[in-house]
Amino acid sequence: MASQNIVVVTDSNFESEVVKSSLPMLVDFWATWCTPCLALAPHVEALAQEYAGKIRVGKCDIDANPMVPTQLEIRSIPTLLMFKAGQVVGQVVGAVPRARIQDLVKKAL
């Protein structure tokens, strides 16, 4: 489910890939069984391509990587978190229109 513009975020690489990222980073917390997550995926992919070089985009499968979502108190998926300088600067929960995700990205730039 990851492409060349999307980083697979795991419990073990979260610190190095997200917290220490030099660019703002959008992370999609999802699961394979989540239909709204799958519906949101093409929008996340499109934004990863559109903003390549300006932001980084990652996807974290909550079933394979339960520690990070637990630490971030993610209670529902899909959840998109925007990180800047290692801190959460915005959040969107649910299968929302692409424009709403794009607003989240623009606020971090």
CATH number assigned to the domain covering 6-108: 3.40.30.10
Token pair 């692409």 is found at: 98
Closest CA to 10 of 61, 78, 85: 61
Annotated active-site residue in 25, 37, 44, 74: 37
Residue pair 92/104 in contact by the 8 Å Cβ criterion: yes
Annotated active-site residue in 7, 9, 27, 34: 34
Is 60 one of the annotated active-site residues of the chain? no
**Mean pLDDT, residues 28-56:** 96
Say if residue 1's pLDDT is above 50.
no
Of residues 3 and 21, more confidence is placed in 21
Is 34 one of the annotated active-site residues of the chain? yes
**Mean pLDDT, residues 15-33:** 97
Q: Domain locations in the chain? A: 6-108
Taking residue 60's Cβ as centre, other Cβ atoms within 10 Å add up to 28
Average pLDDT of the chain, as a whole number: 95
The structure's pTM equals 0.95
Q: Does residue 74 sit in helix, strand or coil?
A: coil
Say if residue 4's pLDDT is above 90.
no
